[in-house]
Amino acid sequence: MSGDTILNVKDLTMRFGGVVAVNDLSFLAERHKITALIGPNGAGKTTVFNCITGFYKPTSGAMRLTHGDGRIIQLERLNDFRISKQAKVARTFQNIRLFPGMTALENLMVAQHNALMLASGLTFLGLIGAPSYRAAEKHAIDQAKQWLDRIGLLERADEAAGNLAYGDQRRLEIARAMCTEPALLCLDEPAAGLNARESAGLSELLLSIRSEGTSILLIEHDMSVVMEISDHIVVMDYGVKIAEGAPQAVRDDPKVVAAYLGADEEEAIAVMESGT
């Protein structure tokens, strides 16, 4: 089981002044699987995400990413854009961060920046309109088109991203992250604000992404989504891991129920009801 681990987080600690947001957290995420990170509000989930994706430098601990070809990358040694460029870890944000003044298609083109930048010979070949660049651009547009089709936004490709409906923006952000061709996709509450039908569509999309070979790390409050699609769940509370395991096992864990009950009654009920 531990033979095919994509992400190995070991003893991760993150302090902000005197506040310990994440304390000695260790967990594994497996390749081609969906790993969910859940917990009550303020448990430190997003902080873990920000450490993994290079937006925070962890106080201590190691995060080892193993690629399919055996390449090992220590994420804590890379900073911001290199995590996405070299380690191939993509992320979405809790509050959507699209480029609102650019079209849906342009958003997906920006995501393919690094590949296109190489193809354009660091701009010089592109400036003179070299055929090799034009081919690369066409390929990029095709890939963007394919993703727009998958998320059902092909018709609205030329609309400004800021004009799209909320659910469409969520899906577009996932498609944009996927256009960087990541090995590990980190989603921060992708189902937040979606209705039941949109959540179901999201689950389907995530499962299809998994089946194509991208591993997913997920923070989510919507338990129907988490329980349906996760292969492995890590539960956090007050910065520490309190439980982990398969969805069924985690749901029955008394410590998890207590954490949710103590923090938020509604969420606890949601956890328990989603199983029945």
The verdict on 84 binding another protein (CB under 8 A) reads yes
Residue 13, classified by CB atoms within 10 Å of its CB into exposed (0-12), middle (13-18) or buried (19+), is: middle
The verdict on 110 binding another protein (CB under 8 A) reads yes
Find the binder of another protein among 71, 97, 195, 246 (CB under 8 A): 97
Classified as helix, coil or strand, 235 is strand
Find the binder of another protein among 2, 41, 123, 276 (CB under 8 A): 123
**Closest separation between CB of residue 248 and another protein, Å?**
33
**Closest separation between CB of residue 116 and another protein, Å?**
4
Tokens of 207: 């499962």
Separation between Cα atoms, residue 33 and residue 184, nearest integer Å: 10
Q: Are 12 and 35 in contact (CB under 8 A)?
A: no
The verdict on 61 binding another protein (CB under 8 A) reads no
- What binding mask, one character per residue, do residues 22-41 give for another protein by CB under 8 A, x or -? --------------------
Query: With CB under 8 A, what is the number of residues at the site for another protein?
Result: 51
Q: Are 92 and 44 in contact (CB under 8 A)?
A: no
Stretch that binds another protein, among 14-22, 28-36, 152-160, 206-214 (CB under 8 A): 152-160
Pairing mode of beta strands 5-16, 60-66: antiparallel
Find the binder of another protein among 193, 228, 261, 272 (CB under 8 A): 193
Residue 108, classified by CB atoms within 10 Å of its CB into exposed (0-12), middle (13-18) or buried (19+), is: buried
The verdict on 55 binding another protein (CB under 8 A) reads yes
Separation between Cα atoms, residue 180 and residue 262, nearest integer Å: 40
**Closest separation between CB of residue 178 and another protein, Å?**
11
Residue closer to another protein by CB (options 112, 215) is 112
Residue closer to another protein by CB (options 6, 105) is 105
DSSP 103: B
**Closest separation between CB of residue 146 and another protein, Å?**
12
Residue closer to another protein by CB (options 80, 204) is 80
Residues with Cβ < 8 Å from 26, sequence gap 6 or more? 9, 10, 11, 12, 241
CA atoms within 13 A on the CB side of 26: 5
Q: Are 128 and 136 in contact (CB under 8 A)?
A: no
The verdict on 120 binding another protein (CB under 8 A) reads yes
The verdict on 130 binding another protein (CB under 8 A) reads no
Q: Interface with another protein by CB under 8 A: which residues?
A: 53-55, 80-85, 90-91, 93, 95-103, 105-106, 109-114, 116-117, 120, 123, 126-127, 141, 145, 154, 157-160, 162-163, 165-166, 169, 176-177, 180, 193
